[in-house]
Chains A and B, each alone.
Chain A
Amino acid sequence: MRPYFEKMDEFGHTLKKGRIKSTEQNLNSIQKIEEEVAVEVNRVKLAGFPEEKINARGQMTVWQRLEYLVDSGTWCPLHTLYNPMNNEEGTTNVIDGIGKISGKWAVIIGFDNKVMAGAWLPGQSENILRVTDLSKRLNIPLVWLVNCSGAKLTEQEKFYANRRGAGTPFFRHAELEQLGIPVLAGIYGTNPAGGGYQSISPTILFAHKDCNIAVGGVGIVSGMAPKGKFNLDAAEEIIERAKQFRAKPPGSVSIHYDETGFFRYVFEDETEVLDGLKDYMKDMPAYPPKFYRVAEPKEPRFPIDDVYRLIPLNPKRVYDFDEVLARLVDSSEHMEFRPDYGPEVYAGLCKIDGFLVACIGNRQQYLGRNYPEYADYPGMGGKLYRQGLIKMNEFVTLCGRDRIPIVWLQDSTGLDVGDAAEKAELLGLAQGLVYSIQQTDIPMMLLLLRKGTASAHYLMGGPTANRHNAFTLGTAASEIYVMHGETAAVATYSRRLVKEKEAGRPLEPVIEKMNKLAKDYHEKSRPLFCAKNGLVDEIVPLGDLRKYLEAFAGAAYQNPKSICPQHHLILPRIIKG
């Protein structure tokens, strides 16, 4: 298939000096938001005890462990700002992302041992489930850096139980293992109760000499046999037992290496644990990249930083989607699928790091007087019409057949509405796209360039497609809401306005509420809100987007569950005609 992929159609143009001049403010505004995000990321990094204090105890921090473990330049953090339960610690207390270890992609997650010795906090199990789902979707190893003191007992009611509570990740570990996906764990520190299961549920355990894992730790063992109340005698007894168990906590290496053999390996130094993980990662199941690459990897022909000038921060401003895509894909080349049909949707085959990926995005410009063909009004990009929906249904279905991972690039105001749109079957075609995605069983990722709105956010590979969506990235320009705040205010209060008017009452109180609602929508759609609440898995600087695309493509092709030989691909033949 070399003739198809070695040299595809070039697209995109060099930015001219006039455009550069006109977009300086946009660039500065986006970078200012990125700086605000960076401040928050740094705050998470600095949470808990300072690094020096942890190091003085002879321990590395989770960040130092990650730095040592992950191949340089490959770390793509996820969920850094995720804190859906608004923990005072400012974090769910796990740090995770995708990175290479010994040249192989893995999903990597570690407890932040600077914060309450890596305790379970509210929202953490949901974070971990996103991570186990990611490993499952990409079919790549999950690597844990366990250092978990167990539940933050003063808030246990928020996370201990429930369908997706703190015990659920243990079932997910079992699920991954049953699917043949290895879960490796480096284990440090004291890991009682929940921490014990965090340690025992992975596939192979690499232990540091000072670690322990146990059904119950010092605190629990010291406090067994409740007497109904506490008094001075009880306190003295607790003190005595605590001293005894603290000297030799349950489940140390002498038990779980020498007696049970749960620990496969024990290492003297912290870094040796990580070396052990690296050594195993060398042998994890993976195809060499040449097995799946369709061409040599190449950088885009245009600088990625152009994207700061191409994507307007103003959500009403139209732009040229193709120019953005040309800054993200190898050689700025593609094979576009049905370019003369459904002009509001871009669909095409591109290369990322030499791997074939399918890209689907929203074109933004005016679509002309004769489109959509079913209506007497002109179409505007960003919205979805009949042809665009049909095109996406076809393209996704063919990608599933050809086993081509999909990158969705979303910036949509939603579907066309009104009786003409209903007659044109948009509702059925939209749910048809959901059906098409669901039957593919291929990894997808979403890059939310700007607006994620209405049902289009669901349909176009959004996180709600969570059997397929590996992760969703936001940008400084991203905003997510069911509809624009002003639209929501009209929808909520229009009848009230009519009533007040007819009753001869003043409209100002209603208008005030409308403005408040619109403002509230704006604040609850901003990138930091989206990241904190998990509406996106990470806010990524525009300059780093390609790095994430490379991680996605590399991981998706590392050990895919099924193969379509390149010479059996049908989609490039259909495009060629």
Chain B
Amino acid sequence: MTQEILAPLDGKVFQLKIKAGDNVEEDQEILVIEAMKMETPIFVPCDGTIREVRVSEGDEVKENDVLAIIDE
């Protein structure tokens, strides 16, 4: 099963901690969005493998943009 990981808010990708093909564990931090002077970490909802990363560090993202796709 595939899940999209969405941006919860507008902001800039401050840190990217994964790449396609990485195995990740439920609730692992995969990237950080900077907005309104604060850093919001993004966690994966399940164990799986990162199929695709759609952002790079420094990218501006909008709320609900797809950040990455994970295969459970």
Interface membership of chain B positions 53-67, coded 1 if the CB is closer than 8 angstroms to chain A and 0 otherwise: 000000000010000
A392 within 8 A of B: no
A380-B38 contact, Cβ under 8 Å, with A18-B43, A369-B63: yes
- Most chain A CB inside 10 Å of its own CB: which residue of B37, B38, B39: B38
User: Closest CB of chain B to A563's CB: distance in Å?
Assistant: 43
Closest to A364 in B: B38
A18 touching B40, Cβ below 8 Å: no
A sample of 24 inter-chain contacts (CB < 8 A) reads A17-B25, A17-B26, A18-B24, A18-B26, A19-B43, A22-B27, A22-B28, A22-B41, A22-B43, A23-B29, A316-B34, A316-B37, A316-B39, A317-B39, A318-B38, A318-B39, A364-B38, A365-B40, A366-B8, A366-B35, A366-B40, A369-B63, A378-B9, A378-B10
| CB-defined contacts of A365 to chain B, threshold 8 Å | 40
B44 within 8 A of A: yes
User: Closest CB of chain B to A245's CB: distance in Å?
Assistant: 66
A380-B25 contact, Cβ under 8 Å, with A19-B43, A318-B41, A366-B8: no
Q: Give A19 to B28 CA distance when docked, in angstroms.
A: 5
| CB-defined contacts of A318 to chain B, threshold 8 Å | 38-41
A382 within 8 A of B: yes
User: Closest CB of chain A to B56's CB: distance in Å?
Assistant: 20
B1 within 8 A of A: no
Interface membership of chain B positions 16-38, coded 1 if the CB is closer than 8 angstroms to chain A and 0 otherwise: 00000000111111001011111
The A contact surface, by secondary structure, is: loop
Q: Give A16 to B24 CA distance when docked, in angstroms.
A: 12
The B contact surface, by secondary structure, is: loop
Interface membership of chain A positions 1-28, coded 1 if the CB is closer than 8 angstroms to chain B and 0 otherwise: 0000000000000011111011100000
| CB-defined contacts of B63 to chain A, threshold 8 Å | 369
Within 8 A of B (CB), among A267-319: 314, 316-318
Closest to A13 in B: B27
Q: B: which residues have CB within 8 A of A?
A: 8-10, 24-29, 32, 34-41, 43-44, 47, 63
| CB-defined contacts of B29 to chain A, threshold 8 Å | 18-19, 22-23
| CB-defined contacts of B8 to chain A, threshold 8 Å | 366
A316-B28 contact, Cβ under 8 Å, with A366-B8, A366-B9: no
Interface membership of chain A positions 365-393, coded 1 if the CB is closer than 8 angstroms to chain B and 0 otherwise: 11001000000001010100000000000
Query: Number of contacts between A and B (CB, 8 Å)?
Result: 58
Closest to B44 in A: A18
A21-B36 contact, Cβ under 8 Å, with A317-B41, A318-B41, A366-B8: no
- Most chain A CB inside 10 Å of its own CB: which residue of B8, B9, B29: B9
| CB-defined contacts of B24 to chain A, threshold 8 Å | 18
A16-B26 contact, Cβ under 8 Å, with A318-B41, A369-B63, A378-B9: yes
Q: Give A337 to B37 CA distance when docked, in angstroms.
A: 29
A317 touching B38, Cβ below 8 Å: yes
Tell me which of A16, A23, A314, A317 contacts B25 (CB under 8 A). A16
A18 touching B28, Cβ below 8 Å: yes
B36 touching A378, Cβ below 8 Å: yes
User: Closest CB of chain A to B41's CB: distance in Å?
Assistant: 7
User: Closest CB of chain A to B17's CB: distance in Å?
Assistant: 8
Closest to B25 in A: A18
User: Closest CB of chain B to A223's CB: distance in Å?
Assistant: 63
- Most chain A CB inside 10 Å of its own CB: which residue of B25, B35, B63: B25
B38 touching A16, Cβ below 8 Å: no
Closest to B24 in A: A18
| CB-defined contacts of A364 to chain B, threshold 8 Å | 38
Q: Give A366 to B9 CA distance when docked, in angstroms.
A: 7
B38 touching A382, Cβ below 8 Å: yes
| CB-defined contacts of A16 to chain B, threshold 8 Å | 25-27
Within 8 A of B (CB), among A405-439: 413
User: Closest CB of chain B to A19's CB: distance in Å?
Assistant: 4
Q: Give A23 to B26 CA distance when docked, in angstroms.
A: 13
User: Closest CB of chain B to A21's CB: distance in Å?
Assistant: 6
Q: Give A366 to B44 CA distance when docked, in angstroms.
A: 18
Starting from the known contacts A18-B43, A317-B41, A378-B9, 11 additional A-B residue pairs (CB-CB under 8 Å) come to A16-B27, A17-B26, A18-B28, A19-B43, A21-B25, A21-B28, A318-B39, A318-B40, A366-B9, A366-B40, A378-B10
